[in-house]
């Protein structure tokens, strides 16, 4: 093979390598996107079964919130709220909203747009299986996506406190 043929062969090989690498990266990016899109909902909301009945879970949760230095800003009975508007819903659902003023002040001082996610909320609900569940936002994961002060406060302090609040309340 002469020098011209070798250069032509090398050029075609380089083009093929670049094309196949680009195609591989594109396919990999699409697959990562699909995996993330599919898994994110199940990663963003954490749900565990309660050890207690419905009313006992709500009461224990409210007591633990207070014992851990937080304030229960509101407990909303979703069934009653919907019934006021003519909508009947049988499985019981309550939202327990909680706040810690120091954390709220810290986050709002730097990132007021996050106020849409305040106060923190635990959902206590009755499953179709008759069991009682507690759901919460995965603050650690959510806060990492925002970074900065949100990651420090919500991903650190809030996430740690939520774990303490739920200690002893949920089945493993």
| Same domain, yes or no: 39 and 81 | no
Sign of CA dihedral 109, 111, 112, 114: negative
Count of domains forming the chain? 2
The candidate with the shortest Cα–Cα distance to 168, out of 65, 50, 53, is 50
Model confidence band, residue 24 (pLDDT cutoffs 50, 70, 90): confident
Peptide bond connecting 27 to the previous residue in cis, omega within 30 degrees of 0: no
| Same domain, yes or no: 25 and 74 | no
pTM passes above 0.85? no
Q: Averaging pLDDT over each range in 42-46, 112-116, 122-126, which range is the top one?
A: 122-126
| Same domain, yes or no: 136 and 67 | yes
pLDDT for 21? 77
pLDDT for 4? 65
Model confidence band, residue 66 (pLDDT cutoffs 50, 70, 90): very high
| Same domain, yes or no: 38 and 72 | no
* 172 is a domain residue: no
| Same domain, yes or no: 76 and 110 | yes
Domain boundary among 43, 60, 77: 43
pLDDT for 40? 63
Rounded to the nearest integer, the mean pLDDT of the chain is 89
* 24 is a domain residue: yes
pLDDT for 95? 98
* 171 is a domain residue: no
* 85 is a domain residue: yes
| Same domain, yes or no: 33 and 73 | no
pLDDT for 123? 98
| Same domain, yes or no: 112 and 90 | yes
Give every CB contact of residue 28 below 8 A, 6+ residues apart in sequence. none
Model confidence band, residue 30 (pLDDT cutoffs 50, 70, 90): confident
d(CA 29, CA 56): 47
Residue 7 has pLDDT above 80, yes or no: no
> What CATH number should be reported for the domain holding residue 116?
3.30.310.70
pLDDT for 148? 93
Per-residue pLDDT tens digits for 73-116: 999 999 999 999 999 999 999 999 999 999 999 999 999 999 99
| Same domain, yes or no: 96 and 160 | yes
Q: List the domain range (segments joined by +) for residue 8.
A: 1-43
Residue 58 has pLDDT above 70, yes or no: yes
| Same domain, yes or no: 56 and 36 | no
Model confidence band, residue 27 (pLDDT cutoffs 50, 70, 90): confident
| Same domain, yes or no: 1 and 86 | no
| Same domain, yes or no: 152 and 120 | yes
| Same domain, yes or no: 61 and 36 | no
* 127 is a domain residue: yes
* 128 is a domain residue: yes
* 2 is a domain residue: yes
H, E, C per residue of the chain: CCHHHHHHHHHHHHHHHHHHHHHHHHHHHHHHHHHHHHHHHHHHEEEEEECCCHHHHHHHHHHHHHHCCCEEEEEEEHHHHHHCCCCCCCCCEEEEEEECHHHHHHHHHHCHHHHHHCCEEEEEEECCCCCEEEEEECHHHHHHHHCHHHHHHHHHHHHHHHHHHHCCCECC
* 134 is a domain residue: yes
pLDDT for 93? 98
């Amino acid at each position: 093979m002469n020098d011209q043929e070798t250069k032509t062969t090398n050029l075609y090989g380089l083009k093929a390598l670049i094309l196949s690498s680009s195609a591989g990266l594109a396919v990999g990016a699409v697959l990562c996107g699909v995996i993330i899109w599919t898994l994110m909902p199940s990663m963003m909301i954490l749900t565990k079964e309660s050890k207690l009945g419905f009313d006992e879970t709500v009461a224990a949760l409210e007591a633990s919130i207070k014992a851990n230095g937080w304030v229960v800003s509101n407990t909303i009975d979703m069934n009653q709220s919907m019934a006021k508007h003519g909508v009947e819903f049988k499985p019981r659902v309550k939202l327990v909203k909680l706040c810690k003023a120091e954390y709220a002040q810290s986050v709002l001082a730097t990132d007021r747009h996050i106020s849409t996610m305040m106060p923190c909320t635990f959902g206590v609900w009755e499953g179709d299986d008759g069991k009682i569940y507690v759901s919460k936002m995965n603050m650690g994961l959510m806060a990492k996506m925002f970074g900065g002060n949100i990651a420090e406060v919500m991903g650190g302090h809030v996430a740690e406190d939520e774990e303490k609040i739920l200690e002893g309340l949920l089945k493993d």
